[in-house]
């Protein structure tokens, strides 16, 4: 158990809908990262937050957004969902967000868009 929690574990929804994925980092970690894992693209970085502020963006679609709250939990919002958004979404956390730090991954949320 990495100490990173994610809810829900599974999500089934329809095209055009909006969903929110939630992540709680390990105790003491200030940085949260979101990744998407799909069969064709592998594990790809989406966005990084540090202590409530956005630090870096990767291959994140404009339909997706995220935020980190004062209690350090983070939410990833996916809107206008398409079939191709079906994937595993992972959250990871680290102490401060330096490139040398270990990132600890949560169990993931499996999203299926029908």
74 counts as binding other proteins under rule CB under 8 A: no
Residue 85 phi, psi dihedral angles, 5° rounding? -85, -10
The footprint of other proteins on residues 26-45 (CB under 8 A) is 33, 35, 42-45
The residue from 32, 64, 93, 108 that contacts other proteins (CB under 8 A) is 108
Tell me the closest approach of the beta carbon of residue 81 to other proteins, in angstroms.
21
Instruction: Examine residue 99 and say whether the peptide bond preceding it is cis (omega within 30 degrees of 0).
Output: no
The 42-71 contact track toward other proteins, x by CB under 8 A, reads xxxx--x------xx-x-------------
Contact at 8 Å (CB) between 67 and 75? yes
99 counts as binding other proteins under rule CB under 8 A: yes
Evaluate the CA torsion angle 92, 95, 99, 104 in order and state its sign.
negative
- Nearer Cβ to other proteins, position 16 or 101? 101
Region near other proteins per CB under 8 A, out of 15-23, 62-70, 77-85, 89-97: 89-97
Task: Write out the H or E segment, with its range, that includes residue 19.
Answer: strand 19-24
Residue 42 phi, psi dihedral angles, 5° rounding? 70, -155
């Amino acid at each position: 158990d990495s100490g990173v929690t994610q809810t829900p574990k599974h999500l089934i929804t329809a095209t055009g809908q909006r969903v929110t994925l939630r992540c709680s980092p390990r105790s003491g970690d200030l940085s949260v990262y979101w990744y998407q894992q799909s069969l064709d693209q592998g594990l790809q970085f989406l966005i990084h937050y540090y202590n409530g502020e956005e630090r870096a963006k990767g291959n994140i679609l404009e339909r997706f957004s995220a935020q980190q709250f004062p209690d350090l939990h983070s939410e990833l919002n996916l809107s206008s969902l398409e079939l191709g958004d079906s994937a595993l979404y992972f959250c990871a956390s680290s102490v401060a967000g330096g490139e040398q730090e270990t990132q600890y991954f949560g169990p993931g949320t499996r999203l299926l868009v029908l």
